[in-house]
Amino acid sequence: MARRRSHSTGPPCTSSRSGPGGSGSAISTSRRALDSARRTWRRVRGRNRGNQPSPDPSRLAHGAVTPAPQTGWVACGPVKGRRSQGGCMRSVSDLGVRLSGVAVGILLQALAGCSDPNSPGTGAIEVTVTTVGAERHPNGYSVGLDGGAGQLVAVNGSVTVTGLKAGDHTVVLGDIAPCTLNGSNPRNVSVVAGSTTQVAFALSCSSAVSVAGVWDWTERISPPGGYTCSDTGSYAFAQVGPSFTGTSDQVGSCSGFGNVIDNTRSDPLSSGLVFTGDSLRFKVVACVYRGVVSGDPPSSINGVVSCDTLNRPQGTWQAHPGGPPATVTVSPDSLRKLVGDSGQLTVALRDAAGSRVFRRPISWSSGNPTVATVDLTGMVKAVGAGKTGITASAGGASGTGKVGVELGGIFRITSLTGGTDLDPTGYVLAAGGVARRVGVNTTGDLPRLFAGTYSVGLSDVASNCTVSGDDPRMLAVTEGGTTTSTFQVTCVHTTKLALSSYGSIGVIYADGSNLVTLAAGSAPSWSPDESRIAFSCAGSGGAYDICTVSPDGTALVRVTSEQSPGFIDAAWKPDGSQIAAGSRRGGSLELYVMNPDGSGAMPITRNVGYRGRPAWSPDGTKIAFDCQVDAGNDDICVINADGTRFARLTSDPAADAAAAWKPDGSQIAFATSRYGAFEIVLMSSEGGGVARINGGTPGLDPAWSRDGAKIAFSREDGGCDPDNGCYDSYDVYVMNADGSALVQLSSAGDDHEPDWRP
């Protein structure tokens, strides 16, 4: 029976009211509600912009699925493509948004500006749904009008569509699985202007067919012009009412364009639903499967599959209830383990046709638990020496893998090292994939090896050391036995440099190998007899002291020990009788000389602008150093070791620093910025005659080799990258005195102030 409604001049509208299981809300037309609706619409619209990516070809069978948008109706004026004989409806999905019932209600007012449900010359349709029986659809049904988008209606509820032009319309009720509809569907309905036409749907629901359990399946998916996928596997369905979820395990491959892609995988199964007529639908990642269940009880499912890829491939699939497997294969078929080790076994189940099947209960057992045990997952634990079988059983079929457990053998290797400059880092001893580091003149074991013959080698040997005899050598070990062998190593004197690195001093070979950190400090200076290295070390009260240490890092001695200001920048006199260093002991920074034990410290400069970095002349009569005779101008100065005859060697407006005497006393190398960035240059030991090296060699901290043939120095190698920003990096380089044969010696990133061993 039609109910009359008032008329107004507003556009067509929709409204809804719900019975049991439905929902509804009042619609506010306040300014706050309108603003809220606009903000909500903009946010959601922004989240739904953009194109969906195309799946990778290897995911043709099971890839990612974009769920279908939730739909609803928003009243509007005429909209192209969604006409309903004078009125029109537009689904929320057309707007590209997903909103709650309240937001949809607000949008009805904010976007459509609804006022009166039936304008002159229009009418309405009210659809009422009643449902009886078991397993009603939990989400309700979908009501569609004249081929338009559907609107959700509760299992016992109603929805009203207003603003419809008088005449015939078509109403359809969808998503009714697993229920049966009494009467026709769709239905033709006549609308009378100014009235509401009633349409009633009655449904009876019964228990859906059960597909719960394991189903073995095959599929073939062949997209036009693309890949073809052939797979076999098992589904495990868990069903509640008409809905089910589960898992999918499979093996197979996709081939095309000359490629074969492995399609072995395990995926979740979702959105499963059993419909009236024993049809079903579910999703496995990117693929939608539809099928018809046959038999009572169900004995087969046959259907089609569509995958949501760029080419939308199509295929067919068949499934039958999973029975006991015909064969069980244990992999690997044999394990060889040492006592205490573990190993994982797996199984492959196959049916009578040889196809892989999954999801069957598997039990594991050991033939001799005193040799090896196995847990519920197939993890084997080696317990004692011997052999046994590990059996996996499933549904009456079984398979066995062999396990052999052994006691481990041992190689006991001794390294005897003689000569000078013994390898500071020791060696690496290796055999059969087992390796360990051993020191010089020590004995080390390589344990837990299977009985057999191995190649045993001593590696990471310093460049100045050689191994006598075969290296590697072939040695045999027996089960539970110990094999001994000795490697003889001889080392010879080699060239080394001391340097500063990350707040410590260290020693490195001249070929860049074997960098060894000795102690915390900076500015190392090697004693003429090679036995000690002097350097700046942290003192008490924030001061610095002069310390010495052996080249192997032992016998650290604090030469000076006083409160601030302390001493910095030690330099050893060529005959070893004195150490030069800077100190503010008298107030200003001055140059001092002292005995190697720190006694007898005396200043030899006074108010000449001493700035540090003392460097003795080869004959020990003079000391060059950094100075500032003119305020702000860094230069190189020189003074006799007794404090007489001060002289300024450079006076360029640019910065000059870090003098280093050539061993024959003829030249001084130093760093200067007079050509731009700091570079290493040469000048006469009397000053003057400044010459660039090889057209310009960037660097700092020059140091001559003891034979005068090479110059070591540090260089700034900073840079910038997106992750770390800009950074400074200092490394040590070595070149010939003419700038040729440039070699990077270190790469730690903060290496500087090199000094050659005598």
Mean pLDDT by 10 residues, the chain (758 residues): 34 38 33 36 34 36 32 33 37 31 35 48 93 74 89 91 93 83 92 94 85 96 79 96 93 91 95 84 91 94 82 80 97 96 97 96 98 98 97 97 96 96 94 93 95 96 95 96 97 95 95 93 96 92 90 94 82 97 91 95 94 97 96 95 96 96 97 96 96 96 97 86 75 96 91 95
pLDDT digits (tens, 9 = 90+) for 590-636: 999 999 999 999 999 999 999 999 999 999 999 999 999 999 899 99
Q: What is the pLDDT of residue 82?
A: 35
Quote the crossing angle between the two packed helices 31-47 and 101-112, to the nearest 10°. Answer: 110
Q: How far is CA 588 from the centre of its chain?
A: 55
Q: What is the pLDDT of residue 140?
A: 84
Exposure class string for 312-350: b at 16+ Cβ within 10 A, else e:
ebebebebbebeebbebbbeeeebebbbebebebebbbb
Give the dihedral sign, CA 178/181/184/185.
negative
For residue 407, give Cα distances in angstroms to 258, 344, 434: 49, 20, 16
Mention every residue, 6+ apart, whose C-beta is less than 8 A from residue 426.
415, 437, 438, 439, 440, 442, 460
- Check: CB of residue 42 under 8 Å from CB of residue 268: no
User: 3-state SS of 695-735?
Assistant: EEEECEEEEECCCCCEEEEEEECCEEECCCEEECCEEEEEE
The whole-angstrom separation of Cα 612 and Cα 601 is 16
- Check: CB of residue 154 under 8 Å from CB of residue 142: no
Q: What is the pLDDT of residue 234?
A: 98
Q: What are phi and psi of 218, to 5 degrees?
A: -135, 155
Q: What is the pLDDT of residue 38?
A: 34
Q: How far is CA 647 from the centre of its chain?
A: 61
The whole-angstrom separation of Cα 108 and Cα 106 is 5
- Check: CB of residue 190 under 8 Å from CB of residue 180: no
Q: What is the pLDDT of residue 1?
A: 35
Which residues on adjacent β-strands are paired with residue 211? none
Closest CA to 197 of 125, 121, 118, 117: 125
For residue 367, give Cα distances in angstroms to 323, 342, 343, 458, 514: 27, 17, 16, 42, 54
Token pair belonging to 360: 């069957």
Q: What is the pLDDT of residue 101?
A: 35
Q: What is the pLDDT of residue 179?
A: 79
Full strand arrangement of the beta sheet holding 730-736: 700-704, 710-716, 730-736, 743-744
The whole-angstrom separation of Cα 230 and Cα 431 is 46
User: 3-state SS of 150-204?
Assistant: CEEECCCEEEEEEEEECEEEEEEEECCCCEEEECCCCEEEEECCCCEEEEEEEEE
The whole-angstrom separation of Cα 410 and Cα 485 is 11
Q: What is the pLDDT of residue 224?
A: 61
Domains of the chain as residue ranges with CATH: 122-205 (2.60.40.1120), 213-321 (2.40.128), 327-406 (2.60.40.1080), 409-491 (2.60.40.1120), 496-756 (2.120.10.30)
pLDDT digits (tens, 9 = 90+) for 661-707: 999 999 999 999 999 999 999 999 999 999 999 999 999 999 999 99
Q: What is the pLDDT of residue 6?
A: 34
